[in-house]
Amino acid sequence: MDDLFATHDALATAQLVEARKLGARELLDGTLARLRALDASLNAITDLYDGELLEKSIAAAGGGPFQGVPFVVKQLMADCAGTPTTLGSRFFAREPVAAADSAAIAAMRRAGLVIVGRTNTSEFGLAPTTEPAYGGATINPWRRDLSPGGSSGGSAAIVAARGLPMAHATDGGGSIRIPAALCGLFGLKPSRGRVSLAPIGETLAGAGAQHCVSISVRDSAALLDAISGGEPGDPYHAPAAGSFLAATERPPGRLRVAFLRKPAGGDALDRSLVAAVERTAKFLEELGHIVEEAAPGYDSQASGAALGTIMAANTWTNIQVRANGRVPGPDDLEPVTRATAEHGRTIPAHDYIRAVQTFHRTGRQLGAFFERHDVLLSPTIARPSLPLGVVRMDGSVEAFQQALAPMVAFTSVCNAAGVPAMSMPLAWTDDGLPIGMQFIGRFGAEEMLFALAAEIERARPWRARSPDRGGET
């Protein structure tokens, strides 16, 4: 059991259960034991189910493509019946448990997943690391002095350590792709409206999304098949699509790929990142794609400022809505969270509307770019690794924003524009740490991205490179 997820992704594991080559209870008990052992050193899981809650989770799992596969859900943007959703915050640690699953979580259960726990996140998902005051820092299994990124760092750390083949993740500015990059995993942020966020609202004016981090492309595709689609009254809907899993089984065709050597309006990158992009671009040419250096024309400073405005206003509003009249005490929120919320309280309506309009303008500018190109390639983040303690929520907002900037330099525009983007572990530092490459597509183009990702995965497989093997194939 300890080595199962080193060789089997979630779909392969479910096939073992269906063929009765592996008992569902044997799989569950063995996985829970491994998760407990891993979490003792990683601090990635906030809650592991047992007793009646676990039995209800087993009973709720359907007979879909992931039949019997254990799964964990991030403590953000998703409710699991019978447990609280803490948002990584002491203030919400004691809130009433959820009466029902979120729509996407219910779909995950119907697909056969057995939810066995919740994973750590930064407070309110504001930081691109996972070091909340409530619950403590999650460790990157590749090296103990490094963060797994965030805010889906708990999920990414567990999957990177091969405790599970995939785990729930959310993304409001890069929080699926950043930890995927730092942990050597595959992570795709879907298009705006591809996965319903019901029963909550649009989330960050449409910037928020949920899906997973995984060890294989096909698991990610099959899960998106299972959870995509709208709920009645959803404010956004992505274009209709076929099967994402089927897309992984066909060639992507000859794609027009643009690549970036630096962020839009940003500073020069570390040479290791530039070299990684150039090698990836050359590799894509060898696969037959048309590759050129080109950048979309949009105002990165305005787009980033708009996301900050919307995030601050949402932070204040979400505290008010979820607290049901409770007022945070002096120790209930981290300093940056409190300052962000206070700023959000003072934002005028016209500034918020201008921020939303900036999102729409950015989306149109990227839309024009994707009339000429199919894919935009870049590093996922603008630094090769993230030591623990670099991004701090206990200091000034200015220091936090300075540390945040290189983490979201390539990712946050995708959230503003609502376009799909994926991170793939296609490069490695000299000391064996993973470097993620980001691929962005036009709105609704997940099928194309999955077809490309599967082609790349077949040519440059990464699953055998894991922390316990020292990054060696």
Q: SS in 3 state form for the chain?
A: CCCHHHHCCHHHHHHHHHCCCCCHHHHHHHHHHHHHHHHHHHCCEEEECCHHHHHHHHHHCCCCCCCCCEEEEECCCCCCCCCCCCCCCHHHCCCCCCCCCCHHHHHHHHCCCEEEEEECCCHHHCCCCCCCCCCCCCCCCCCCCECCCCCCHHHHHHHHCCCCCEEEEEECCCCCHHHHHHHCCEEEECCCCCECCCCCCCCHHHCCEEEEEECCHHHHHHHHHHHEECCCCCCCCCCCCCCHHHHCCCCCCCCEEEECCCCCCCCCCCHHHHHHHHHHHHHHHHCCCEEEECCCCCCHHHHHHHHHHHHHHHHHHHHHHHHCCCCCCCCCCCHHHHHHHHHHHCCCHHHHHHHHHHHHHHHHHHHHHHHHCCEEEEECCCCCCCECCCCCCCCCHHHHHHHHHHHHCCCHHHHHHCCCEEEEEEEECCCCCEEEEEEEECCCCHHHHHHHHHHHHHHCCCCCCCHHHCCCC
- The pLDDT, as a whole number, for residue 202 is 86
- The pLDDT, as a whole number, for residue 471 is 46
Query: From edge to edge, which strands make up the β-sheet containing 114-119?
Result: 45-48, 114-119, 70-74
Q: How many CB atoms lie within 10 A of CB 153?
A: 38
User: For 290, phi and psi rounded to 5 degrees?
Assistant: -90, 120
Split at pLDDT 50, 70, 90, the class of 267 is: confident
Q: Which domain holds residue 183?
A: 4-469
Split at pLDDT 50, 70, 90, the class of 174 is: very high
Do the Cβ atoms of 463 and 227 come closer than 8 Å?
A: no
Average pLDDT over residues 187-192: 98
Separation CA 449–CA 248 (nearest Å): 9
Which of 57, 102, 147, 151 is catalytic? The answer is 151
Which of 57, 89, 175, 220 is catalytic? The answer is 175
Separation CA 370–CA 208 (nearest Å): 21
Q: Could you give the C-alpha distances from 429 to 11, 272, 433, in angstroms and in order?
A: 30, 7, 5
Q: Give CA 385 to chain center in angstroms.
A: 17
> Is 151 marked active-site?
yes
Which of 342, 257, 350, 265 has the alpha carbon at shortest distance from 303?
265
Average pLDDT over residues 78-86: 96
- The pLDDT, as a whole number, for residue 156 is 98
Split at pLDDT 50, 70, 90, the class of 205 is: very high
Average pLDDT over residues 376-384: 98
Separation CA 408–CA 177 (nearest Å): 10
> Is 189 marked active-site?
no
- The pLDDT, as a whole number, for residue 473 is 35
Separation CA 116–CA 50 (nearest Å): 8
- The pLDDT, as a whole number, for residue 25 is 97
Whether the per-residue pLDDT at 143 is higher than 90: the answer is yes
- The pLDDT, as a whole number, for residue 72 is 99
Percent of the chain with pLDDT over 70: 99
- What is the count of structural domains for the chain? 1
CATH code of residue 107: 3.90.1300.10
| pLDDT per position as a tens digit, 43-70 | 999 999 999 999 999 999 999 999 999 9
Percent of the chain with pLDDT over 90: 95
Torsion sign across C-alpha atoms 2, 20, 221, 259: positive
| Token pair of 22 as six digits | 């592996």
Split at pLDDT 50, 70, 90, the class of 472 is: very low
> Is 303 marked active-site?
no
Count how many residues are written for the chain. Answer: 473
pLDDT, averaged across the chain: 96
Average pLDDT over residues 337-351: 98
Average pLDDT over residues 296-303: 97
- The pLDDT, as a whole number, for residue 325 is 86
Whether the per-residue pLDDT at 256 is higher than 50: the answer is yes
